[in-house]
Amino acid sequence: MATTAADGKSLAVVVSERLARYGFGDGHPFGADRLAAFTREFTARGLEQRVRLLEPRTASDAELRSFHSAEYLEFVRERSASGTGMLDAGDTPAFKGVYEAAAGVVGATLAAMDAIMAGECRRAFVPIAGLHHAARNHAAGFCVFNDCGVAIEQLKCAGLRRVAYVDIDAHHGDGVFYAFEDDAAVVFADLHEDGRYLYPGTGDAAETGRGAAAGMKLNVPLPPGADDEVFATVWPRVMAHLTKFTPEFLILQCGADSLEGDPITHLRFSPQAHARAARELAEFADRAGHGRLLALGGGGYNRANRAHAWTAVVENLL
Ligand SMILES: [Zn+2]
């Protein structure tokens, strides 16, 4: 059975201020203030004492290169030094030190992944991480480096044959989907607002994987306004999809922008949706015997929603 740490705490959480360095300044939806709302609620609910607190590390160049192209890393390094210009067509501006800040987010995800793989904890949560739009060779949608993609590559390097990636952020996880579209090592399931109404416009139900991975990817586009009732009807499809495979590690991108009241999306889930996703995936991982589940905060541009969705995830992973 899965291990429990000597201190009895099965869940590790990264709450370091280093994560707050990843933000695009005042007025940008992905500001540097995104962490504080979560940590306040996390402390107020007494969760700090109930989890193992993890310090992030910086991802090495070799780790970043396992997902991203050398040319793209060099491009980000140059823009990071000058602190000017955009990293993509217009959503993701450069700032001085953006390379280090983004590598810090990847490092936080990898520190959490390492702790799980070493058996120091069964599950982990990393706010701010889950930057699912970044592609191997370009930035996109506020995402510079794709920590989810780097983690998947590292798990494959460690010898895992099958990793599951589940995404309930309002936006389609295109950076993960297209990077692993034909990769049979990655089981993929993504609930998102229909691409006809929301960035990035992808994630049609007909996109089910290619080649060796045909049928291994589940995309479930939802209409604007979809609420907990809709979530309850489609979530069992995610669980049924996972049970067809035998993932040895689960990643949950639990973006809070699928909650009612987000300023840039149109889904209307409550934190109960995030709670259920976390709880059922944790149970699934435990039943598989390994217990390995890494939850990543993802999007969310309404302070209260981030605080409530992410603490609901933490409470359901305890
Ligand atoms: Zn999002």
Task: Give ion ligand 1 contacts, CB < 5 A.
Answer: 169, 171, 255, 257, 299
pLDDT at residue 1, as a whole number? 45
What gap in Å lies between CA 268 and CA 214, rounded to an integer? 31
What gap in Å lies between CA 93 and CA 111, rounded to an integer? 26
Of 68, 132, 133, 172, the catalytic one is: 133
| Ligand 1 centroid to residue 5 C-alpha, Å | 33
| Ligand 1 centroid to residue 52 C-alpha, Å | 27
pLDDT at residue 4, as a whole number? 52
What gap in Å lies between CA 267 and CA 260, rounded to an integer? 6
| Ligand 1 centroid to residue 262 C-alpha, Å | 10
| Ligand 1 centroid to residue 171 C-alpha, Å | 4
Name the stretches of the chain with pLDDT < 50: 1-3
| Ligand 1 centroid to residue 59 C-alpha, Å | 23
- The answer to whether residue 133 is catalytic is yes
What gap in Å lies between CA 74 and CA 95, rounded to an integer? 15
pLDDT at residue 216, as a whole number? 98
Do the Cβ atoms of 257 and 301 come closer than 8 Å?
yes
pLDDT at residue 31, as a whole number? 87
Q: What is the pLDDT of residues 73-120, one digit of tens each?
A: 999 999 999 999 999 988 999 999 999 999 999 999 999 999 999 999
Query: Looking at residue 294, what DSSP letter applies?
Result: E
